[in-house]
A = this chain, B = another copy of it.
Amino acid sequence: MLDEENIVDPSHPRYDSLMIRKKIADAGVKGMLADSAMIAHGRGEAYDYLLGEKTTPSAMEATKEAVARLIKAESPVISLNGNAIALAGSDFLTLASQLGCPVEINIFYRTPERMGALIGHLKLLNSKLGLDVEILGGIPDERIPGLEGPRGACQSNGIFSADTILVPLEDGDRCEALVAMGKEVLVIDLNPLSRSSRNCTVGIVDEVSRVAKNMIQMMPEKPAPTKWNNAKGLQAALDQIIDNITNKFS
């Protein structure tokens, strides 16, 4: 497993994971992240390591289910926070373009500086990719009922009116509040035990940039929704961890 402090060496067996970490560190330097984002990333690293640092079959199924529900939705929105933008901003813009839907930035520790850095970064990526995805979140005019403070802020033409929301790396309170609004909430979270994973409609237990890439590739297949059992998918993730650590030292 990871050592406490490490440098990125291309010959390192866990180079991918270390490069993902570097993206987070770089985004931190650019002012895109709160300190807690680093700690959250570390938690994700630990779960990803235990899961094997690859997309498990059950995570792939959950990803397909989420894609199916996004395609079927009348007004889907992709909600993005700092970590999701740092790790997979380009991919989520590509997915939004495929879906013809907006992205909306929603961050827990909202400051004008961080919002500005995130919006600016997404605009730059939009332009680099030749896309014209609508970027919401900068001028919130509605609130998610039951959420105190800035994280409850949202846009009427985005998250507030959406029927289906893809929320990578969501905070648990907000996930619950969105479900309480009657929305389908599709969560990407490496922790199968988080409140977000437990309370959402479809929980994808996988690393956010792998999921975004898988979703882009699945879009042309136009999968159809099924009757999804979220608890079953989450237990499959836990069972994968159990498989990976059973009799490791004997």
Contact = CB atoms under 8 A, between A and B. Distances in A.
Contacts of A117: none
Contacts of A109: 5
A20 to B, nearest CB: 11
A145 interface: no
A215 B108 CA distance: 38
A3 B83 CA distance: 13
A12 B23 CA distance: 31
Nearest to A109: B5
A60 interface: no
Interface in A158-216: 169-173, 191, 193-196
Given A242-B246, A248-B235, A249-B232, A1 B191 contact: yes
Interface in A64-111: 81, 83, 107-109
At the interface, is chain A mostly helix, strand, loop or mixed?
helix
A171 B196 CA distance: 32
Contacts of A83: 4
A28 B35 CA distance: 9
29 contacts: A1-B193, A2-B40, A2-B191, A2-B194, A3-B195, A3-B196, A4-B37, A4-B40, A4-B81, A4-B170, A5-B36, A6-B108, A6-B171, A28-B35, A39-B45, A40-B42, A42-B43, A42-B44, A42-B45, A43-B43, A43-B46, A46-B46, A193-B248, A231-B250, A235-B249, A235-B250, A238-B249, A242-B245, A242-B246
A210 B247 CA distance: 27
Given A38-B38, A43-B46, A193-B245, 18 more contacts: A1-B193, A3-B170, A3-B172, A3-B195, A4-B37, A5-B107, A5-B108, A6-B108, A6-B171, A28-B35, A39-B39, A40-B42, A42-B44, A42-B45, A46-B47, A46-B191, A234-B249, A235-B248
A170 to B, nearest CB: 7
Interface in A208-250: 231-232, 234-235, 238, 241-242, 245-250
Contact of A238 (B42, B172, B248): B248
A238 B243 CA distance: 11
A184 to B, nearest CB: 20
- Residue in A28, A35, A37, A43 with the greatest tally of chain B CB atoms within 10 Å: A43
